[in-house]
Chain A
């Protein structure tokens, strides 16, 4: 079946602009995660949704970052007043449910470049 998809695959924006990044999880997966991967680093956790609600948003770096999942499927990560330091690959993952130890399936990522 279809895996996790993310759009756009690449996004170039100017400092100060607003961007939205979209994630389509695997159908039926109730858990959804966002991570950020800077060059040469491993992914860093941003936020975790179980269903429609954010169960853990402690990884969001500041209040410019916000994510929603209004119908418990597609999620959008929103970044306001982008800064050059926001440049990274943003990864989305999903898993079947909230149980710990479940495999997280990753999408290909959105590469964000802030000029």
Chain B
């Protein structure tokens, strides 16, 4: 079935460093792709989304491009801040009337000053 795979393990980096979190997906149709973020003590929030191939989603300095040829939706930010410390989840929505979200396991990101 439709699924999302995120890179293993937490990510620790220094303030102003470049962040990449890898996400690949498996889907039979033409899914929409999402990144959700969970800040400490808060609920899941949509960070960005892309609904078709080659679309780029962006928000708060984060970007991700929907790559059909590599079935990927990697999240990037050029210069992270301590306030970006959170858990990041990649997710897909299969489409064709199927509204459920399928999430990856998430990546904990810790930004140290």
Contact A43 B100 (CB under 8 A): no
Min Cβ gap A92→B in Å is 10
Stretch at the interface among B14-22, B72-80, B102-110: B102-110
User: Using Cβ atoms and an 8 Å threshold, which residues of chain B touch A107?
Assistant: 43
Which A residues between 91 and 115 are near B, CB-CB below 8 angstroms?
91, 93, 95, 98, 100-109
Residues of B within 8 A of A (CB): 4, 32, 36, 42-46, 49, 51, 89, 91, 93, 95-106
A43-B42 in contact given A56-B98, A100-B97, A101-B93 (Cβ < 8 Å): no
User: Which listed residue (B32, B44, B100, B105) contacts A48, Cβ 8 A?
Assistant: B100
Q: A43–B101 contact, CB under 8 A?
A: yes
Hey, which chain B residues are within 8 Å of A98, CB to CB?
Answer: 99
Closest to B102 in A: A45
B32 near A42 (CB under 8 angstroms)? Answer: no
Instruction: Evaluate contact between A104 and B97: CB separation under 8 angstroms.
Output: no
Contacts of A102 in B (CB 8 A): 99
Contact residues, A8-47 vs B (CB, 8 A): 31, 33, 35, 40-45
A contact residues vs B (CB 8 Å cutoff): 3-4, 31, 33, 35, 40-45, 48, 55-56, 59, 91, 93, 95, 98, 100-109
Closest to B94 in A: A100
Query: A4 contacts which chain B residues (CB < 8 A)?
Result: 43
Contact partners of A93 in chain B: CB under 8 A: 44
Q: Which of A33, A44, A101 contacts B51 (CB 8 A)?
A: A101
B91–A42 CB distance below 8 A: yes
Please judge, given known A-B contacts A31-B99, A56-B100, whether A43 and B44 are in contact too, CB under 8 Å.
yes
